[in-house]
């Protein structure tokens, strides 16, 4: 993240979850193998997560081009992080998924609270 003071609340939450979960060697290794762009949008806040060459970059704003996208209410996204259950919010229509779902599945393991 280039400038945390310019990041929205969703980006700061994602940053915290990633930092905490990447302390686990297995999760860190999995993140280094990822090479994709994921868009996350909660309410009106958007964040782009770029996995490239072992680096993770968070940028403010929802990407126009991404390998995977997940959108929903901020509450639904937080529920996924806390409960590890993305099926119920998805089936209830509170989360929408676009693009390739496999990077999202890998990302979920990096974002659990």
Tokens matching residue 62? 């929802």
3-state DSSP of 1-55: CCCHHHCCHHHHHHHHHHHHHCCCHHHHHHHHHCCEEEEEEECCEEEEEEEECCE
Domain count along the chain: 1
> Looking at residue 8, which CATH number applies to its domain?
3.30.1050.10
Whole-prediction pTM: 0.89
pLDDT tens for residues 3-18?
778 899 999 999 999 9
The residue assigned the tokens 């969703």 is: 10
Residue 113: predicted pLDDT: 59
Q: Give me the domain span that covers residue 27.
A: 4-111
Q: Are 1 and 27 in contact (CB under 8 A)?
A: no
pLDDT tens for residues 20-79?
999 999 999 999 999 999 999 999 999 999 999 889 999 999 998 999 999 999 988 888
pLDDT over threshold 80, residue 2: no
| Pairwise CA distance, residues 67 & 63, whole Å | 10
Cα–Cα distance list, 56 to 44, 78, 97 (Å): 23, 20, 21
CB atoms within 10 A of CB 33: 9
Strand partners, 50: 37, 57
């Amino acid at each position: 993240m280039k400038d945390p003071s310019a990041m929205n609340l969703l980006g700061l939450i994602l940053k915290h979850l990633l930092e905490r979960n990447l302390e686990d060697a297995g999760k860190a290794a999995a993140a280094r193998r990822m090479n994709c762009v994921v868009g996350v949008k909660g309410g009106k806040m958007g964040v782009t997560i770029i996995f490239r060459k072992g680096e993770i970059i968070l940028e403010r704003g929802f990407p126009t081009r991404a390998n995977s996208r997940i959108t929903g209410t901020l509450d639904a996204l937080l529920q996924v992080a806390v409960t590890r259950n993305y099926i119920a919010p998805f089936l209830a229509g509170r989360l929408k998924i676009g693009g390739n779902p496999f990077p999202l599945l890998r990302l979920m393991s990096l974002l659990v609270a």
